Amino acid sequence: MIHFSTNVESADQAYAFLAQADVACAVAEARSILVQIYVSTPDLNWIALLVEAVRSAAPGAIIAGATSAGEICEGRVSVGSTIISLSAFSSTVLRSALLRPSPMQTYDAPAADEILGGHYHDAKALLALAPSVSSECTRSLARLIAQFPHAQIMGGYVGTNRANDTALVFLGDDIVTQGVVVVALCGEELQVVCRPYLGWKALGPSMAITQISDFVVETINDQPAADVYRHYLGLDPFRDLHLLEFPLLVERDGRIIARNPVSTAGTDGLKMIADLYVGEHVRLGYADVDAIIEDTRGGVAKLAEFAPEAIFLFSCVCRRFALQQDVLLETMPYQAIAPTVGFFTFGEYFSEDGHLQVLNSTMVVVGLREGNAPAAGRQPGDGRDPLDHLGDDPYRVRHIRATSRLFQFIGALTSQLEEANRKLRTQADCDPLTGVLNRRVFDETLTAEVSRSARYNRDLALVLIDLDHFKRVNDVYGHVAGDHVLIGIASTIADLTRRSDVFCRYGGEEFALLLPETGLAGAHMIAERIRVAIERLELFDGDIALPAITASIGIACQPHHGQDAKSILIAADSALYRAKAQGRNRICAADGVPVVKPLPQPPKGRFSPV
């Protein structure tokens, strides 16, 4: 594989570049040729001239291109320019397609073999370019990517450098403002590595996504989403493009990813480039220049071991906004390894195990080569650290570092406040002896769950558990022993609950368990497991064996036994005392029918509370 790239300002320069001896020789000897063209403005005549120039020099080349919000050539960043890159492959086969939306704005993703012909299993990489940020476009591309589980995807959503310009993509002579250009790179000898780098750190409190419609976040923490930027950063989402510098960060599968608002929607919603989901927790993010530099240093070292013959960079436009002229710190070092080309995106494509990810605020680095790497890899330049020059200028990136330090300070204060608030919430919400939720939380949750179940016509069960003859333990063995019993039984019950259940100490030796989405039969099963587990529990106060404990249990369900919190609680309490009156160590539903007979004394396990 041989790669060339240049910045051109006229058609004559394009012809001259393609006529260079080394370029012409590579074209003549290549099995396939990929030409990428990235332009700053959607000038159709200019694009047509460039395509014609390529056609005259390399008639069989696949030409894929787009407008961009900034261009990268030989590691340098430019704005308002045109980049032409030519990759000549000796064994790789290229296949391409243009996915067009239907009149209903849906995309019919072609089958993999329609794009690849007979090279389906050899696909190593897919280059994808799309001008339209839409959920349907993303879903269509995801369906296509799923057919290539072993291929790396690269590229992204394209944009322009001027707000009023229309973004476009093109495949040869086909130029579209809606559609997806896809180029598949196939071949056994082709080797591809693809790595994303973020470098953004979390700032401020954790916040929950509470309402979302398609790619529009409507509310965060049940407040208008745009208020997050007004409150914490003093930004007007209707005016300030600085939103791009402060994405929302979310953790998925152990990886922090960013989600950038691109505009407002409706009254106070935020339109995103990629997906977020209700229930996910987000925090504001900021650019940490030290993290970005370290990512670059580590990325260059890893890529040097791979020894690429060409490097493609797809970097989020917000990185250019945040780093300004210092964006070169993360693009130039890669040029020391291999010829580098790329552009600034409005959403970067990345894939893992055949699953498409649309990233934001990220730089995706792609290394390509044909054949095996040299034994020693490819050392950057003279083997020195490509970022060593930063140490020669103590004032370089000082302004960004100062801002990063300030954000780190604010982040540290936020973490301390969150930890203090967590401890306060624990003290306020949890029973100090057993560690389970307390009566106040139970009362609040019962009211909320009853209302929710009524609204959505869902089942809800309440289980009240009272320990039989518990007073005897306190009277005979003392209150410390009684505390051990309560701790052990609370732990045993908690182990039997689901994540959605709400388990509380109701008072004294009585516990309450709220079971959302659970009817009477399901509540009976759970209550019986609890009753048996308590009966089998062997408790100790130090080395002193304590007597076996049993429990009486009452169950009430919404809507069968009540329509509000008070009536359901009264029904469960009546069922509990009916269980005690009928001999204890049993379960009664609110209708008074015992549903479980006491089991024979089972074998005991050992439990010794700490």
Q: Beta-strand (E) ranges in 214-347? A: 216-220, 223-224, 248-252, 255-259, 261-265, 269-272, 281-287, 310-316, 340-345
Q: Which residue, 548, 544, 464, is CA-closest to 508?
A: 464
| pLDDT value at residue 78 | 92
Q: How many residues does the chain have?
A: 610
Tell whether 610 is covered by a domain.
no
Q: Are residues 99 and 133 in the same domain?
A: yes
Out of 235, 269, 285, pick the residue that ends a domain. Answer: 285
Whether residue 23 has pLDDT greater than 90:
yes
| pLDDT value at residue 405 | 55
| pLDDT value at residue 103 | 58
| Rounded CA separation 538/517 (Å) | 32
Q: Are residues 455 and 574 in the same domain?
A: yes
- Token pair, residue 13, equals 């320069």
How big is the chain by its Cα radius of gyration, in Å?
32
Q: Are residues 13 and 122 in the same domain?
A: yes
Out of 429, 447, 481, pick the residue that ends a domain. Answer: 429
Banded model confidence at residue 596, pLDDT cuts 50, 70, 90 = very low
Range of weakest confidence among 128-142, 544-558, 567-581, 584-598: 584-598
> What spatial distance separates the first Cα and last Cα of the chain, rounded to whole Å?
66
Consecutive H or E run containing 59: none
In angstroms, what CA-CA distances link 6 with 15, 80, 81, 305, 332? Answer: 12, 14, 10, 26, 15
pLDDT digits (tens, 9 = 90+) for 487-507: 999 999 999 999 889 999 999
Whether residue 128 has pLDDT greater than 90:
yes
| Rounded CA separation 551/561 (Å) | 22
Banded model confidence at residue 383, pLDDT cuts 50, 70, 90 = low
Q: Which residue, 515, 521, 520, 517, is CA-closest to 493?
A: 515
| Rounded CA separation 97/109 (Å) | 10
Q: Residue 57's CB: how many other CB atoms inside 10 A?
A: 19
Instruction: Kindly state the average pLDDT of the residues 520-549.
Output: 91
In angstroms, what CA-CA distances link 466 with 56, 187, 477? Answer: 88, 70, 19
| pLDDT value at residue 117 | 61
Out of 260, 285, 310, pick the residue that ends a domain. Answer: 285
Name beta bridge partners: 608: none
Q: Residue 257's CB: how many other CB atoms inside 10 A?
A: 23
| pLDDT value at residue 30 | 97
Q: Are residues 213 and 232 in the same domain?
A: yes
| Rounded CA separation 174/154 (Å) | 21
Tell whether 607 is covered by a domain.
no
| pLDDT value at residue 523 | 94
How do strand 340-345 and strand 310-316 relate by DSSP bridges? parallel
- Is there a contact between 153 and 125 (Cβ–Cβ < 8 Å)? yes
In angstroms, what CA-CA distances link 102 with 1, 47, 143, 176, 182? Answer: 37, 25, 16, 13, 17
pLDDT digits (tens, 9 = 90+) for 98-127: 888 765 555 655 655 566 565 556 789 999
Tell whether 295 is covered by a domain.
yes
| Rounded CA separation 214/277 (Å) | 9
Tell whether 423 is covered by a domain.
yes
Q: Are residues 139 and 244 in the same domain?
A: no
Whether residue 392 has pLDDT greater than 80:
no
- Token pair, residue 404, equals 């990063």
Instruction: Kindly state the average pLDDT of the residues 195-213.
Output: 90
Tell whether 520 is covered by a domain.
yes
How do strand 32-39 and strand 62-67 relate by DSSP bridges? parallel
| pLDDT value at residue 106 | 59
| CA angle 18–46–95, rounded 5-degree value | 60
| pLDDT value at residue 101 | 77
| CA angle 434–492–514, rounded 5-degree value | 80
Tell whether 128 is covered by a domain.
yes
Range of weakest confidence among 144-153, 182-191, 207-216, 489-498: 144-153
Q: Are residues 464 and 527 in the same domain?
A: yes
Q: Are residues 12 and 58 in the same domain?
A: yes
| Rounded CA separation 254/216 (Å) | 24
- Residues with a known catalytic role: 509
| Rounded CA separation 91/309 (Å) | 14
- Is there a contact between 363 and 314 (Cβ–Cβ < 8 Å)? yes
Q: Which residue, 19, 157, 8, is CA-closest to 85?
A: 8
Look up tokens 């990759």; give the residue: 87
| CA angle 91–141–207, rounded 5-degree value | 125
* Domains of the chain: total: 4
- Between 406 and 275, name the one with better pLDDT: 275
| pLDDT value at residue 399 | 55
Tell whether 243 is covered by a domain.
yes
Taking phi over 0 as left and psi of -120 to 50 as alpha, with beta for the rest, 281 belongs to beta
pLDDT digits (tens, 9 = 90+) for 546-560: 888 999 999 999 988
Range of the domain at 307: 2-197+290-392
Instruction: Kindly state the average pLDDT of the residues 346-375.
Output: 90
Q: Are residues 126 and 235 in the same domain?
A: no
Whether residue 29 has pLDDT greater than 50:
yes
- CATH number of the domain at 592, please: 3.30.70.270
- Is there a contact between 557 and 595 (Cβ–Cβ < 8 Å)? no
| pLDDT value at residue 120 | 57
| Rounded CA separation 464/461 (Å) | 10
- Is there a contact between 540 and 608 (Cβ–Cβ < 8 Å)? yes
pLDDT digits (tens, 9 = 90+) for 84-105: 999 999 999 999 988 887 655 5
Instruction: Kindly state the average pLDDT of the residues 447-476.
Output: 91
- Between 21 and 262, name the one with better pLDDT: 21
- DSSP-based three-state secondary structure for 280: coil
| Rounded CA separation 401/382 (Å) | 28
Banded model confidence at residue 230, pLDDT cuts 50, 70, 90 = confident
| pLDDT value at residue 425 | 77
Q: Are residues 127 and 142 in the same domain?
A: yes
Whether residue 63 has pLDDT greater than 50:
yes
Name beta bridge partners: 353: none
Range of weakest confidence among 371-380, 382-391, 418-427: 382-391
| pLDDT value at residue 54 | 97
Q: Are residues 249 and 274 in the same domain?
A: yes
Tell whether 602 is covered by a domain.
no
Q: Which residue blocks in 430-469 are alpha helix, DSSP H?
A: 439-456
| Rounded CA separation 401/585 (Å) | 67
Beta-carbon contacts of 30 under 8 Å, excluding residues fewer than 6 positions away, are 2, 88, 89, 90
Range of weakest confidence among 238-242, 264-268, 452-456: 238-242
Whether residue 444 has pLDDT greater than 60:
yes
Q: Are residues 225 and 182 in the same domain?
A: no
pLDDT digits (tens, 9 = 90+) for 366-380: 999 999 887 665 666
Q: Are residues 437 and 415 in the same domain?
A: no
- Token pair, residue 187, equals 């071949």
- Is there a contact between 548 and 602 (Cβ–Cβ < 8 Å)? no
- DSSP-based three-state secondary structure for 521: helix
Percent of the chain, pLDDT > 70? 86
Mean pLDDT taken over the chain: 86
- Between 486 and 608, name the one with better pLDDT: 486
| Rounded CA separation 171/550 (Å) | 75
- Token pair, residue 301, equals 């070292």
